[in-house]
Structure 1
Amino acid sequence: MKLKLTLVLTIVSLSLFAQTKYSNEFMNIGVDAAALGMSNAVSSTTSDVNAGYWNPSGLINVEDNQLALMHSSYFANIANYDYAAFAMPIDDRSTIGISLIRFAVDDILDTTQLIDDQGNVNYDRISLFSTADYGFTFSYARKLPVQGLNYGINAKVIRRVIGDFANSWGFGFDAGIQFQTENNWKFGIMARDITTTFNSWSYDEESFARIQNAIEGQNQELPESSEITIPKLQIGVSKSYLFHYDYSFKTALDLNVRFEQNNDIISTSFASINPALGFEFGYVDMIFLRTGVGNFQNELQIDNSESLSFQPSFGVGFKYKGIHVDYAFTDIGDQSVALYSNVFSLKLDFSAFR
């Protein structure tokens, strides 16, 4: 049964190539445990090395070189999600950054050659392979002549590999802006895949022939060779407060907009809107508690009624000089399914070590 399940998962993963609407979804999971603890409601507040992902215009607030690392596991530790980023200012008005994301399932059993042409089972013919998605991003941010207004752009390269069966290359661009008022209101807009991100797939004919012959009459046609990722918008607003010098409180609201009709809480034929709300409480700029809620969905039940689901998240953070350690406890699906993940991230600000 385990071998059959592995074979089915392999076939399903290959058949998903034809899906274009949700291409490169691994790039939408999110990075930085601090942001994930606030349900990703950070497009207006992000202001460190992780801004290269959330809103590249926020990189302009990086005053010295910064490095960020993150690891998390999903689906009962079957899939691993890793992230690394680096940012540095190049003058007093501009900053650059680079980042790498890897989302992968490793050591998958390839059972397509388990049974030979004579019907003999040979377990030595089982091999292992990985399915891995990579996203490499180069970011640039710059201050505009208007006080408090910044912009940023991302150039992305996508690499996706499924063993020796298939692989693809993709390219795309993001753009973002941030604006901060004198009374500490912040606004942000992040436009992802503004040119539509294009992925081009190529297949190994010999390897794919094994899939075609695994189950008679199925998987006889190659999947589509190209994917298009449609643009998305993330619009945010936030406000920070300081109490008695030692206590801080930040609240943020983001609206995630997809140009399609789906199960989001607000959905039309033109676009769907999914809100996310995040909160952060800080003490002496050292200890942080975070929570958030997002991913509101109208789920259709068996009796054709609809119920509202949502995705909660919680997090804590510790900051000492240039070392930031953050943890998030978040649900990749919704509150009704126990698929919680533990996310850890580390950020180093080189200015503390000069």
Structure 2
Amino acid sequence: PRWHLALVARDLTTTFNAWTFKFTEKEKQVLYLTQNDIPVRSTELTSPRLVFGGGYNLKISKTFSLLAEANLDFTFDGKRNTVISSNPISVDPHMGLEASIKDVFFIRAGVTNFQKALSDGDTLNQKKVWIYQPSLGAGVKIKNVVIDYAYANLANQSNPLYTHVFSLKFILVKKEKTTSK
């Protein structure tokens, strides 16, 4: 199909995580010297999230197609630094484009994490600008095995900790029964 629509609900009933930490004296010293807090215990609540997505697949030729997609990430835990920011609902958009060659080779680009931040050149810390996080990726599909690579955090030049994500996917397909006549 050319059009794709999806709705995903995450942590619908809210997820509660709790853990404790135990550090050696040497580890505590490293945390202290690097100006990090020494955690003792922590709890975290993950609020519900709804993701509504859609895409359009444009077949250019028999061997080449483009898939454009957009998602809206709805969170319900108060005002966040997102494009649509309100209390209690915030909305964070994500967009991407995928080029497919023979449904075997894939090249991807996307943008996410739109936020307002203080401008680097503003010494008075009053001017805010929109920032975002672009990403690039590639993939290959050989029969029922897909290998993907994504390179993210490209726009964060002040703290260039890039993210490299590799994934391996197995497509489990139920074989169709053949009947002999």
Provide TM-score, normalisation by structure 2.
Answer: 0.74
Contact 1:280 1:289 in 2 (8 A): yes
Distance 1:199 1:290 in 2: 34
* 1:71-90 aligned within 5 A: none
Corresponding residue number in structure 2 for 1:227: 44
Corresponding residue number in structure 2 for 1:109: none
Contact 2:21 2:41 in 1 (8 A): no
Distance 2:107 2:85 in 1: 32
CA 1:232–1:329 in structure 2 vs 1: closer, same or farther (change >3 Å)?
Answer: same
1:281 equivalent to 2:103? Answer: no
- In structure 2, list runs of 5 or more residues that go unmatched: 174-181
User: What is the number of residues matched between the two proteins?
Assistant: 160
Contact 1:234 1:255 in 2 (8 A): yes
Distance 2:50 2:61 in 1: 37
Q: Aligned with 1:294: secondary structure?
A: strand
CA 1:220–1:268 in structure 2 vs 1: closer, same or farther (change >3 Å)?
Answer: closer
CA 1:312–1:202 in structure 2 vs 1: closer, same or farther (change >3 Å)?
Answer: closer
Letter paired with 1:328: A
Looking at both structures, which has the greater relative contact order when contacts are Cα pairs under 8 Å and sequence separation is at least 6? 1
Q: What is the CA distance between 1:237 and its match in structure 2?
A: 0.8
Corresponding residue number in structure 1 for 2:84: 266
Corresponding residue number in structure 1 for 2:162: 340
- Which is worse superposed, 281-290 or 293-302? 293-302
CA 1:340–1:237 in structure 2 vs 1: closer, same or farther (change >3 Å)?
Answer: same
- In structure 1, list runs of 5 or more residues that go unmatched: 1-182
Contact 1:291 1:315 in 2 (8 A): yes
Distance 2:50 2:91 in 1: 9
Q: What is the CA distance between 1:292 and its match in structure 2?
A: 0.5
Q: Which runs of 4+ in 1 moved over 4 A?
A: 219-224
Q: 2:13 pairs with 184, 195, 198, which one?
A: 195
Contact 2:18 2:41 in 1 (8 A): no
CA 1:261–1:323 in structure 2 vs 1: closer, same or farther (change >3 Å)?
Answer: same
CA 1:251–1:228 in structure 2 vs 1: closer, same or farther (change >3 Å)?
Answer: same
Contact 1:327 1:345 in 2 (8 A): yes
Distance 1:246 1:314 in 2: 22
CA shift digits 1:230-278 (9 cap, x unpaired): 1112111111122221111111100112222121122112211111101
CA 1:199–1:246 in structure 2 vs 1: closer, same or farther (change >3 Å)?
Answer: same
1:184 equivalent to 2:2? Answer: yes
Distance 2:53 2:110 in 1: 14
> Which has the larger share of helix?
1
Provide TM-score, normalisation by structure 1.
Answer: 0.40
Corresponding residue number in structure 2 for 1:85: none
Contact 2:111 2:134 in 1 (8 A): yes
Corresponding residue number in structure 2 for 1:54: none
* 1:96-115 aligned within 5 A: none
CA 1:221–1:290 in structure 2 vs 1: closer, same or farther (change >3 Å)?
Answer: closer
Corresponding residue number in structure 2 for 1:309: 131
Q: What is the CA distance between 1:336 and its match in structure 2?
A: 3.9
1:321 equivalent to 2:143? Answer: yes
Distance 1:271 1:342 in 2: 31
Identity of aligned residues (%): 32
Distance 1:262 1:300 in 2: 16
Corresponding residue number in structure 2 for 1:237: 54
